[in-house]
Every structure is written in structure tokens, then in C-alpha cells.
Amino acid sequence: MADVHSGTMFRSQPTDQRLGDYNNVTKVDSSTTVAFSGSNAGAGFIVENVTNVTIQTAGGGTLPGGTLLIDTLYPIGVKKVVIGATGVVYVLHR
């Protein structure tokens, strides 16, 4: 008779069940510069306040805050966020 407990049906649940496209967020406040790389790579971002914000994209290039809309998800890789006296950016991670 076959062993019914040897198949994949009885494997334990994985401990890390990340279900969304983005599973972590880093808030970048005013007067701050933050670089994102490796396991902390930025996979997207949302801007709360565009004033004095500059986004350096992972593939090269720069997006000034004036070209961005607030409360909009941008699924663009982020290398660095530079914020002057005002501005708030949320960088999303996978």
C-alpha cells in the first residue's frame, strides 16, 4: 500500500507568505537623502509632497518632483531619493 504522507500535499506552510506586489515601505522625510540597493532596492514609489523632491531611477535618469503627481503609485525602480527642506516620498520594496 502507498504511503499517503510522502507527497507534496502534506508540506508545511512557508513562514514568509508575501502576497502583494510590494511588501515593505520606507518613508523618506524632508531634509533627507536615502540610497536604495541590494535587498533594500526600491521597486516603486508614492509621493506625498513633491516640493524639493528628486528621484534617481534604478536604470539611470532623474525625476524632479515637479513632474510627479501626489498620491500616485509609480512602479519605477528607485536608486536614490533626495529631499530638500520639504517633501515626503514612500519607497516600496518587493
Query: For 22-75, how does the pLDDT look when each residue is reduced to its tens digit (9 = 90+)?
Result: 999 999 999 999 999 998 999 999 999 999 999 999 999 999 999 999 999 999
pTM for this prediction: 0.80
pLDDT for the residue 44: 97
Residue 6 has pLDDT above 60, yes or no: no
pLDDT for the residue 30: 96
The confidence band for 8, taking pLDDT boundaries of 50, 70 and 90, is low
Average pLDDT score over residue span 9-26: 78
DSSP per-residue codes, 52-90: TEEEEETTS-EEEGGG--TT-EE---EEEEEE-SS-EEE
pLDDT for the residue 32: 96
